[in-house]
């Protein structure tokens, strides 16, 4: 096809385009021309009077051309379109690459934070276990001290009883009676009485 374009949109005509010609001989895409005529009843190129009634559709008859007669303009347009699409894809690819990079950096920071938290948790777990062992040991010591207190109390009672018996045996009858009357602990009294009966 010849290297022709629509002056309204500046795009080249292709065989599949719906192209119309005005009475003054200028060609346009029908969509472009219709929008123009809604605003002005003149030819977009030469400004001659023009209406919807005096435009005619143009049909292109394309011959089988060899490689040497390929429409350079059409190929250039296709090349420009492909290059434009390629630039768009490259921008999208770069954007995706940046997003992946940011995601990896974020993941790296998160993994570092998680590792720190796991280390902190492990340290706290060790402290809790250590405190539990110390608490258990202290409870055992408290129990042992309670047993010692009870044993000490019993020994003290026995000592008091023995001292009382010794005093009873070495004192006069009246002093012994006074001691028995003044003692209020039934355990000590029972020990004294049992000893005196012997």
CA–CA gap between residue 25 and residue 30 (Å, rounded): 14
- pLDDT grade for 166, boundaries at 50, 70 and 90: confident
What average pLDDT score do residues 54-61 get? 88
74: Cβ contacts below 8 Å, ≥ 6 apart: 1, 3, 12, 14
Longest dimension (CA), the chain: 161
Q: In terms of DSSP H, where are the helices of the chain? A: 30-39, 72-170, 173-182, 186-197
> What pLDDT digit, counting tens, does each position of 74-117 carry?
788 888 899 999 999 999 999 999 999 999 999 999 999 999 99
> What pLDDT digit, counting tens, does each position of 146-157 carry?
999 999 988 888
Cα–Cα distances in angstroms (integers) from residue 104 to residues 16, 45, 92, 117, in the given order: 48, 57, 18, 20
CA–CA gap between residue 83 and residue 175 (Å, rounded): 129
CA–CA gap between residue 144 and residue 166 (Å, rounded): 32
195: Cβ contacts below 8 Å, ≥ 6 apart: 165, 168
Over 80: is that where the pLDDT of 69 sits?
A: no
């Amino acid at each position: 096809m010849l290297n022709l374009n629509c002056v309204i949109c500046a795009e080249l005509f292709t065989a599949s385009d719906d192209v119309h010609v005005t009475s003054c001989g200028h060609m346009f895409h029908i969509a472009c021309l219709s929008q123009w005529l809604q605003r002005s009843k003149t030819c977009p190129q030469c400004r001659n009077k023009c209406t919807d009634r005096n435009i005619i559709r143009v049909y292109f008859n394309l011959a089988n051309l060899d490689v040497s007669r390929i429409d350079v303009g059409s190929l250039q347009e296709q090349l420009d379109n492909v290059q434009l699409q390629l630039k768009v894809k490259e921008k999208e690819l770069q954007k995706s690459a940046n997003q992946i990079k940011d995601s990896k950096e974020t993941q790296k920071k998160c993994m570092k934070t998680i590792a720190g938290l796991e280390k902190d948790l492990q340290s706290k777990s060790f402290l809790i276990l250590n405190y539990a062992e110390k608490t258990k040991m202290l409870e055992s010591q408290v129990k042992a001290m309670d047993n010692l207190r009870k044993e000490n109390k019993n020994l003290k009672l026995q000592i008091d009883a023995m001292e009382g018996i010794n005093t009873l045996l070495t004192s006069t009858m009246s002093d012994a009676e006074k001691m028995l009357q003044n003692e209020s602990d039934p355990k000590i009294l029972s020990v004294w009485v049992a000893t005196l009966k012997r």
